[in-house]
A and B are shown apart, each in its own frame.
Chain A
């Protein structure tokens, strides 16, 4: 059975800390891995990763994929209270049009 597992499930840090969120997957027909940030409403897209070893970066956020070991990490440096959210990892199944398999999410709380 295809699955995506995120760790930790929750995390509390202080402003300025660096955090690393993990996502491992077992998906038969892997096409891409996506990271989303969800605050109070719907998830918003952060990154899409398709190739191993190529870091994607956006401001203080960065992410990398390892297709050999089947995992991805999302790094957030110099965290701010506005980074508090649920971070979702999803893997696109190329065998099923458009299907995304989501992990449980990591709830990040950044304290002032």
Chain B
């Protein structure tokens, strides 16, 4: 079974803090993604990576950065957390080929910024 894990299920941080969200997949997937999910807005892509040390901006990269030093790990970084970054964050991974029915999501991290 493919497994995508995220470091925390719930996280509470203060405005201005640096926040790290970690995602690990165990299926040697090439592509990894970070989304945030907000009511009424669906899932929005923040960043994605199609190889180690490669990253591409998604639709809403402002205020975020990412790191992919190893194939299995994709980190999302909030340099200086703000209250409008309170959200559910979902990580996903997929194969490069085989169709997008092979995209797998992690359980999500609910981040609250006070």
Interface residues of A (CB under 8 A from B): 4, 6, 9, 31-32, 34, 41-45, 48, 88, 90, 92, 96-105
A48 to B101, CA, bound (A): 6
Report chain B residues within 8 Å CB of A103.
42
Report chain A residues within 8 Å CB of B96.
97-98
Q: Closest CB of chain B to A37's CB: distance in Å?
A: 11
Given A48-B100, A98-B48, A102-B43, is A42 in contact with B90 using a C-beta cutoff of 8 Å?
yes
Q: Closest CB of chain B to A39's CB: distance in Å?
A: 11
Report chain A residues within 8 Å CB of B58.
99
Asked whether, in the complex, the Cβ of B33 is within 8 Å of the Cβ of A98, the reply is: yes
Main secondary structure of the interface of A (DSSP, over half): strand
Report chain A residues within 8 Å CB of B100.
31-32, 34, 48, 92, 98, 100
Taking residues whose C-beta sits less than 8 angstroms from the other chain, chain B's interface range is 20 to 34
Report chain B residues within 8 Å CB of A104.
40-42
Can you name 23 A-B residue pairings with CB atoms under 8 Å? A31-B100, A32-B99, A41-B107, A42-B105, A43-B43, A44-B105, A45-B101, A45-B103, A88-B43, A97-B31, A97-B50, A97-B96, A98-B33, A98-B48, A98-B50, A99-B45, A99-B48, A100-B43, A100-B45, A100-B100, A101-B45, A102-B44, A105-B42
Q: Which single residue of chain A is at the shortest CB-CB distance from B106?
A: A42
A102 to B100, CA, bound (A): 13
Q: Closest CB of chain B to A73's CB: distance in Å?
A: 18
